[in-house]
A and B are shown apart, each in its own frame.
Chain A
Amino acid sequence: MTEAEGPFLRVAGLTKRYGEVIAVDDLALEVSRGEFVSLLGPSGCGKTTTLQMIAGFVEPTGGHVLIGGRDMVRVPPNKRNIGIVFQSYALFPHMTVAENVAFGLEMRKVPSAERASRVRAALEMVRLQGLEARLPRQLSGGQQQRVAIARALVVQPDLLLLDEPLSNLDAKLREELRVELRDIQRRVSITTILVTHDQSEALLLSDRVAVMNHGRLEQVATPLDCYEKPASAFVATFLGRCNLLPVARNGAGGLQLGPATLPVAPDTPASGALALALRPERISLVAEGAGILPGTVRAALFNGEQWLFRIETEAGEVQVTRANDGAPAAAQGTRVGLAWDAASARVLPVGENGAARG
């Protein structure tokens, strides 16, 4: 295949309509070779439909999918050379582990000697040596997942698509496999798209996260930028926890937050309803009278690692977390001041009904 200039995978204007319903709306995404990008969003946001259009299982209503510069929209799924790991693993139940992994090589008419050695190498990569003769149902969920990964990668696809690959595993196994998945992806340096609704999975694994909502991309950025500089109220609340406090421009050229007045940052939207996005872990509790916003502690909850405070303020309830340093925390009813670094706060537009919408 030819080394294309620019992005390896380019999705442009990709749209899918089901009658009146728009599942994916004019989606544009560029992914470089070897990059790991997550499509993150709540269920029904169109992320799976997008993946299926890239894979070729769903025909787009409009737009393009280019892999290595070649438009794939008219190419059938079996000619796209894409490896897919399905949510259900989709292993062939009547074939052994080795036969499952060999299937794609067989379809490509790889000679049997080479096939055997490549199957062996693929199973070694996912640490499943010795289980070649087992049937899928004789394996644990984690092992089945590894077979699925080996089966997708053994054919050396141009692109790897992961459709919620870890959602059927229990929490502990999920964490293990996450690390392993990331290692494997780095080692074979394959361009990868992960579809997930699990924000920590997306943040941990990806080079960049593409946050989707209502069929549209809300933000495409590195995990740190998505978290630190959310482009919309939706991104702010979907990735981690975030306080959204209503603010308004006042006559004096500042932002009114309850009784407090804040300076207007240069990137503040010119019009529309605004909210101040403030992460709970970036707010510190200071003595009454100090800080930016006064409030009263309504609840102080302790989970070992950290404290969670619910503070009542004139701007609404604010959640504050603080790492447990061994010292007792402010008790319920205490009047406190809330302080934060101006760089930690962002002013974002919100929808008319205050719903998270970009």
Chain B
Amino acid sequence: MAERALAVPRVSALPYLLSAPGLILYAVCLVAPLAMTALLSFYTFTMATGISTSMSLANYAEILADDYFHTIFARTFGMALAVTLISVLIGTPEAWILHRMNRRWRAAFLLVILGPLLIPVVVRTLGWALFLGRNGIVNRTLTELGLVTTPIEFMYTFTGMVVALTHVLCPFLVLAVWANLQRMDPATEAAALSLGASRTRAVLRVVLPQIMPGVLSGCLIVFTLAASAFATPAIIGGRRLKVAATATYDEFLNSQNWPLGAAIAVLLLVSILTIVLVWNRAVERRFAASFQG
């Protein structure tokens, strides 16, 4: 430490120089477009004149006042919440089972779990559409077995979007929980058993609390990705069931109302950031004592 302290003043510019390429890339590729989008959201738009650079809060006022946008935002976060909850319910046991598997099976199942992430989003979503669509395998089987008379609607439904998004986002939760499980001392579970806890009690009282940080950070990843998802809602929800991301796209490309689209995007970003920060703060406060350092 002493040597480092002595050496620091002489090379104080070095860390900045070394990180400059990264910082420049970050500025050019992320900060600049975001700033431009934010700026754009304050411009005004009329059908007659198109975009003008006079600044106003009109776009935000419109979004906040219009029920149409309320529905879209409610749907966006409702969908994200549903995907997150289902991912937790499926992903946590999945990670636990994965953790208990022997090495060979684990490698195979890890591939199965990560599968959805390896398939391009359009292919995967169209696959779901083929599988669950009006004339899809599921509906045709059910109809032919006489279990249903009219096909179950999946396309252009909220359920459809939640199912397809859970499929692709659940792996993130599994990975977060699994990483947490690997850091856990397996002897703690054995200790709980030896002290008289049943298997269920040992999991609930000893394993689950230890993997909560993994579950919670996995939730955050899944929620953020679900709330900002575009391709899956675009294909399955289409223009009938818009979410914030697809609404933005529509304003930009169909209505040509770029400023309004930008305002939706900015509101989505701000809401997600707020949720992330509040969540993180809450998690840190709750687990700081036992899990840091």
A84 at the interface (CB under 8 A from B): yes
- Could you mark each residue 237-249 of chain A with 1 if its beta carbon is under 8 Å from any beta carbon of chain B, else 0? 0000000000000
Q: Which of B190, B196, B206, B291 contacts A155 (CB 8 A)?
A: B196
Q: Size range of the interface on A?
A: 20 to 34
- Bound CA–CA A104/B196 (angstroms): 6
Q: Which B residues are in CB contact (< 8 Å) with A80?
A: 194
Which of A86-94, A185-193, A195-203 is the interface stretch?
A86-94
Q: In the complex, which residues of chain A have a beta carbon less than 8 angstroms from the beta carbon of B289? A: 135
> In the complex the two chains form, what is the Cα distance from A155 to B290 in whole Å?
25
Interface residue ranges of A46-83 to B (CB < 8 Å): 55-57, 76-83
Q: Does A127 contact B (CB under 8 A)?
A: no
Contacts of B206 in A (CB 8 A): 92
Assuming the A-B contacts A137-B290, A137-B293, are A94 and B194 also in contact, with contact meaning beta carbons closer than 8 angstroms in the complex? no
Cβ contact within 8 Å between B293 and A103: no
Interchain CB contact under 8 A, B190 and A57: yes
B193 touches A77 (CB 8 A): yes
Q: For A87, list chain B residues within 8 Å (CB).
A: 187
Q: B201 an interface residue at 8 Å Cβ cutoff?
A: yes
A172 interface residue (CB < 8 Å to B): no
B194: nearest chain-A partner, CB-CB: A84
Evaluate contact between B196 and A90: CB separation under 8 angstroms.
Answer: no
Bound together, the chains give a CA A76 to CA B188 distance in angstroms of 17
Assembly CA distance A67 to B215 (angstroms): 41
Chain B residues with Cβ below 8 Å from A108 are 196
What chain B residues lie within 8 Å of A55 (beta carbons)? 190, 194
> Which of B187, B197, B198, B209 meets A90, CB within 8 Å?
B187
Which of the residues A78, A88, A92 comes within 8 Å of B194, measured between beta carbons?
Answer: A78
Question: In the complex the two chains form, is B209's CB within 8 Å of A103's CB?
Answer: no
Minimal beta-carbon separation of A109 from chain B (angstroms): 9
A107 located at the interface, meaning its Cβ lies under 8 Å from any Cβ of chain B in the complex: yes
Q: Which residues of A contact B290 (CB under 8 A)?
A: 93-94, 135, 137
Interface pair B210/A78, CB less than 8 Å apart? no
B185 within 8 A of A: yes
Report the bound CA distance from A318 to B198 in whole Å. 57
Q: Which residues of B contact A83 (CB under 8 A)?
A: 194
Residues of A within 8 A of B185 (CB): 88, 90, 93
B191 interface contact, C-beta 8 A: yes
B195 touches A94 (CB 8 A): no
A151 interface hit (Cβ, 8 Å): yes
Hey, what's the 0/1 contact readout for A245-282 against B, CB within 8 Å counting as 1?
Answer: 00000000000000000000000000000000000000
User: Do residues A90 and B188 form an inter-chain contact, with CB atoms below 8 A?
Assistant: yes
Indicate whether A91 sits within 8 Å of B195 (C-beta atoms), given known contacts A135-B289, A137-B290, A137-B293. no
Q: Tell me whether B188 and A77 are in contact (CB under 8 A).
A: no
Contacts of B194 in A (CB 8 A): 55, 77-78, 80, 82-84, 152
CA A92 to CA B197, docked complex, whole Å: 13
A114 to chain B, nearest CB (A): 16
Closest to B196 in A: A107
Name B residues whose Cβ lies closer than 8 Å to a Cβ of A. 185, 187-188, 190-199, 201-202, 205-206, 209-210, 289-291, 293
Q: Closest 4 CB pairs between A and B?
A: A104-B195, A90-B187, A107-B196, A90-B191
10 A-B pairs besides A81-B196, A86-B190, A107-B195 with CB distance below 8 A are A57-B190, A78-B193, A78-B202, A86-B187, A93-B185, A93-B188, A103-B192, A103-B197, A104-B196, A155-B195
